[in-house]
Amino acid sequence: MTELFLHQQWLIWLTLLPLGAAVAAFLAPQQARWIGLATALLLPVCALAGILSVTLTHADPITAGGWPTPLGIELRRDGLALVMLAVTALVGFIISCYALGYFPVHDRHYDKVRYFWPLWLFLWGSCNALFVSGDLFNLYVTLELVTLSSVALIALEGGKQALAAALRYLFIGLLGSLSYLLGVGLLYGSYATVDIALLGEMISATRLNHAAMALMVAGLVLKSALFPLHFWLPQAHTMAPAPVSAALSALVVKAAYVILLRLWFEVFPALDTFAVGHLLGLLGSIAIVWGSLMALRQERLKLLIAYSTVAQIGYLYLVFPLAQPETMAAAWTGGVLLMMTHACGKSAMFMVAGTIHHTAGSDRLSRLAGAGGPVGVLAVVFTLAATTIIGLPPSGGFFAKWIFINAALVTGQWWYLPIILSGTLLAAAYIARVLGWAFLDVKRSSYPVIPWVMKWPPLVLSVIALLFGLIAYEPIQIALIGAPVHGSIMVEMTP
């Protein structure tokens, strides 16, 4: 019985189930909510079963459709794929619950409800497919699926600004992925394979390969919105409905980053990455400071959160310069940890912003006045989720920053220290601004009634974000399965 359970091809179901459900939800719009909810309930189970089947058994590699490898597609089942699937399942489940309240049955904008569920399930399935893809071309296709569904979801509000944001995101997305695809073509030309593992063994430091690396990195940087290519992100994340914003910042931005992480640690090590790594580190540093400063200036909650995402992406790019030989495992783990915890915290924050927008009619910060009072759960959710953005213990953000600072100290790259520390201070400042409004006591004539699915699911997510540092041991152990890096996470300095 257990054998049967563990040897199911769970990872394939993680892609097939949401894609099938998306089609069903599109064909039966009346039942879309229930199809969505059922899928959202099933997918975490599949993800858990998939993780169990990989960690408990050493089953044969899975190939889609059962075709042998050159023809079929072999799924990646390493730790990075597993933790990203798990985070996607968790965040996706919460977003789905929240969306039940955000898009009520009798909405006057029936189109929104009708198209949200198919598109969202499509996005979810594409993300899952991306995380288990093991070759460069599949990564391209899945990344395009993610972008395509994101574009449609951003346009869901239907206003002219939403349309413009969606179109702009579409152009950016296509530009990025074509640049990436050209790089893939160059690599294929040299080695006649797009398999990440094979490429990693064969690649050598030629000029053409460096050009390919530059094209791919540029494309992925554009898609994951690293400064100065972040210009499209605030608009896109702000214009989308709240559940979509949550998914975009939690999953979609990470999708491009995961590809870059795989390339950097599995394909590029043989190339000369010194200059590119430091360039990415520099841009990341600027992103941290610039994004935080911009967040500090915003008057609207969603824009504030979006700029905070720009800053957090900056931290993710510090991984590349910090991954020196002795700190390789540390930097990689720090990046993965930050990705996981940021996904939980940031999506919870966007949901709070959405609830405030929903009930107060606007997400201006001044509308938050009194939110800490009788509807105080919003303020609590926001505070808890913000701990990981600031990097306060015991959140995952705290330990990620710990790892980064440690790596910077050990590798002697002290110039990243003031960046990380000032980023933390600025984050505390912009969060404190929000809290200042939320705890301001005002007498309201009436208090909004918030559906419970818009209250408690985000709270769950923010509590997980807050406590992630305490429960990170197992996820990190899983992430390190088959990881391309080896060594100690907490490196000690030698005098």
Ranges within 149-188 binding other proteins (CB under 8 A): 151-152, 155, 158-161, 163-164, 166-168, 170-171, 174-175, 178, 181-182, 185-186, 188
Shortest Å distance, C-beta 363 to other proteins = 9
| Candidate list 127, 472, 478, 483; residue touching other proteins; CB under 8 A | 472
State the binding string over 429-468 for other proteins (x if CB under 8 A, else -): ---x--xx--xxxx--------------------------
Pick between residue 43 and residue 378 the one whose CB is nearest to other proteins: 378
Answer yes or no whether residue 41 interacts with other proteins by CB under 8 A: no
Residue 487, sorted as left (phi over 0), alpha (psi -120 to 50) or beta, turns out to be left
| Candidate list 313, 476, 478, 483; residue touching other proteins; CB under 8 A | 476
Answer yes or no whether residue 319 interacts with other proteins by CB under 8 A: no
Shortest Å distance, C-beta 111 to other proteins = 11
Shortest Å distance, C-beta 237 to other proteins = 13
State the binding string over 415-434 for other proteins (x if CB under 8 A, else -): --x---x--xx--x---x--
Pick between residue 140 and residue 350 the one whose CB is nearest to other proteins: 140
Pick between residue 41 and residue 482 the one whose CB is nearest to other proteins: 482
Shortest Å distance, C-beta 4 to other proteins = 33
State the binding string over 3-22 for other proteins (x if CB under 8 A, else -): --------------------
What part of residues 231-250 is at the interface with other proteins (CB under 8 A)?
Answer: 235
Place of tokens 């985000």: 458
Answer yes or no whether residue 493 interacts with other proteins by CB under 8 A: yes
Pick between residue 50 and residue 370 the one whose CB is nearest to other proteins: 370
Pick between residue 147 and residue 273 the one whose CB is nearest to other proteins: 147
Pick between residue 245 and residue 387 the one whose CB is nearest to other proteins: 387
Residues that bind other proteins (rule: CB under 8 A) add up to a total of 82
State the binding string over 59-98 for other proteins (x if CB under 8 A, else -): ----------------------------------------
- Shortest CA distance to 412 belongs to which of 487, 312, 488, 491? 491
Q: Are 40 and 90 in contact, with CB atoms under 8 Å apart?
A: no
Instruction: With contacts defined by CB under 8 A, name the span among 99-107, 258-266, 278-286, 368-376 that binds other proteins.
Output: 368-376
Q: Are 357 and 302 in contact, with CB atoms under 8 Å apart?
A: yes
Pick between residue 48 and residue 428 the one whose CB is nearest to other proteins: 428
Pick between residue 314 and residue 396 the one whose CB is nearest to other proteins: 396
Pick between residue 228 and residue 436 the one whose CB is nearest to other proteins: 436
Answer yes or no whether residue 349 interacts with other proteins by CB under 8 A: no
Shortest Å distance, C-beta 344 to other proteins = 17
| 3 state SS for the chain | CHHHHHCCCHHHHHHHHHHHHHHHHHHCHHHHHHHHHHHHHHHHHHHHHHHHHHHHCCCCCCEHHHCCCCCCCEECCCHHHHHHHHHHHHHHHHHHHHHHHHCCCCCCCHHHHHHHHHHHHHHHHHHHHHHCECEHHHHHHHHHHHHHHHHHHHHHHCCHHHHHHHHHHHHHHHHHHHHHHHHHHHHHHHHCCCEHHHHHHHCCCCHHHHHHHHHHHHHHHHHCCCCCCCCCHHHHHHHCCHHHHHHHHHHHHHHHHHHHHHHHHHHHHHCCCHHHHHHHHHHHHHHHHHHHHHHHHCCEHHHHHHHHHHHHHHHHHCHHHHCCHHHHHHHHHHHHHHHHHHHHHHHHHHHHHHHHHHHHCCCEHHHHCCCCCCCCHHHHHHHHHHHHHHCCCCCHHHHHHHHHHHHHHHCCCCCHHHHHHHHHHHHHHHHHHHHHHHCCCCCCCCCCCCCHHHHHHHHHHHHHHHHHHHHCHHHHHHHCCCCCCCCCCCCCCCC
| Candidate list 255, 377, 419, 434; residue touching other proteins; CB under 8 A | 377
Q: Are 50 and 164 in contact, with CB atoms under 8 Å apart?
A: no
| Candidate list 42, 405, 453, 460; residue touching other proteins; CB under 8 A | 405
Shortest Å distance, C-beta 416 to other proteins = 12
Residue 234 CA, chain-centre distance (Å), reads 15
Q: Are 334 and 491 in contact, with CB atoms under 8 Å apart?
A: no
What part of residues 285-314 is at the interface with other proteins (CB under 8 A)?
Answer: 300
| Candidate list 20, 29, 200, 394; residue touching other proteins; CB under 8 A | 394
Place of tokens 């910090």: 322
Ramachandran angles phi, psi of 135, nearest 5°? -130, 160
Pick between residue 40 and residue 139 the one whose CB is nearest to other proteins: 139
Q: Are 173 and 256 in contact, with CB atoms under 8 Å apart?
A: no
| Candidate list 106, 275, 446, 473; residue touching other proteins; CB under 8 A | 473
State the binding string over 104-143 for other proteins (x if CB under 8 A, else -): ---------------------------------x--xx--
